[in-house]
A and B are shown apart, each in its own frame.
Chain A
């Protein structure tokens, strides 16, 4: 009897190992060995690494757990203002501004979270619709508004019912942002 119990436990452990293994591989991919190479002003090492190797564009899988549990700030609030971008460019004209990169990461993560859920995708669409709106041209950054438009277009590809709203977005967007979004796919 105890031998059967032992075998049962052994089998259960093996099944558990088998189930966990793919996840471990994925985690390895998400945390490259080069994690030992932070730059001088990197944030503290004990922060959660949200994601490194993101899923395929065509079918983003669910986000990793830490990301899924993280609160999602409204996209519009996370959009850097022109002054901030200009300040970064003044310091470093040769690199795309990091604040713009962070904003793009936020949108990409939201896209991943919305993957597979029409309701979440529609919510996200409304948010990128909001950030693409040209309400304050003096402080808007076309290259970032274009990210919102491009993201909206990706959502429309999955949910064609949003096409009219997307067309309207493009028409109302800052011309340069709309032009970039049209040109850069």
Chain B
């Protein structure tokens, strides 16, 4: 097989969570074009940030406000927009990626082999950062992979963790039907939290090393990779939740501080009571509950403690928002 279907590579991001140095295409943000509703919705959400419709609530917990500033560099939606712009430049709807492929064909390692098996799983994803996944596969392969998207006529050479290519799936939605059968328009903050999460995956914080990549190359499967790969903060990859966790066996937990769930948690906590909108507040409260429950470094399980304050009070240090690539040991 000369070309690897993108669906295979996209599954990488089910496991990875990863930053801006895109070197291909025309450098424009890929929005609009074919009128994809998903991309239009992303554009709307980004515009709302740019207009600072969202900002840190002065009534939220001081710690959330402080961490928000450290992460986004300010208190306004424009700051959040800049954070996202730095990390994601290309948004593709599901339809855009039909027929997409990568070259050269990725090396079939234990890591990627496992991903082949997941090809049949047609995920209804809200969003995923496929740029990071493709870049990391390129590191494993000692190669630079190019993503070809025939529907938009683009070829994106992925040379950086911040290539910033994101798939926006049908789960990224405008509304949902509540349990009593009424359509409810989802507040934009909820979707922006997803963008904030995905953007964090574009940060290769602390970099990776050749030795670490060798471990990745030798991993027999994705689980072994997750258990042995020592540089999970590069791409802020999720790990499989442990046996005691309600999400046991799912790659839906974070082992290292200030990963994508933590950044999303802070975002939700800081804007939660913005505009005094009660339903938005409750939704973001749920987002905080959900993301907090996935932080293994503050959630020690049934016999341990659960203390999100440890993160907010900087027991694990301040969030490092930088990115890198392959570094020396």
A positions within 8 Å CB-CB of B: 31-32, 34-35, 37-43, 47-58, 60, 66-67, 70-73, 78, 82, 85-86, 89-98, 100-109, 111-112, 140-144, 146-147, 150-151, 175-176, 179-180, 183-185
- Residues in A with CB closer than 8 Å to B307 are 179, 183
Smallest distance from the beta carbon of A86 to chain B beta carbons, Å? Answer: 6
A183 with B279: CB separation less than 8 A: no
A86 to B193, CA, bound (A): 20
CB nearest neighbor in B for A90? B250
Given contacts A51-B185, A151-B282, 10 further A-B contacts (CB under 8 A): A43-B183, A56-B277, A70-B180, A71-B180, A95-B172, A101-B186, A101-B283, A105-B282, A141-B246, A175-B302
- Residues in B with CB closer than 8 Å to A150 are 285, 289
Smallest distance from the beta carbon of B20 to chain A beta carbons, Å? Answer: 19
A37 with B250: CB separation less than 8 A: no
Known: A57-B278, A92-B123, A92-B124. A104 touches B285 (CB 8 A): yes
CB nearest neighbor in B for A176? B306
A35 to B282, CA, bound (A): 22
Chain B interface residue count, CB cutoff 8 Å, equals: 75
B178 with A37: CB separation less than 8 A: no
Smallest distance from the beta carbon of B305 to chain A beta carbons, Å? Answer: 8
- Residues in B with CB closer than 8 Å to A109 are 178, 180, 279
Closest 9 CB pairs of A and B: A56-B276, A54-B279, A95-B126, A179-B306, A50-B182, A143-B289, A108-B282, A78-B179, A47-B183
A38 to B40, CA, bound (A): 9
Task: Mark contacts of B55-97 with chain A using CB atoms, 8 A cut-off: 1 yes-contact digit, 0 otherwise.
Answer: 0000001000000000000000000000000000000001000
Known: A37-B174, A42-B173. A57 touches B183 (CB 8 A): no
B289 with A146: CB separation less than 8 A: yes
- Residues in A with CB closer than 8 Å to B238 are 93
A94 with B126: CB separation less than 8 A: yes
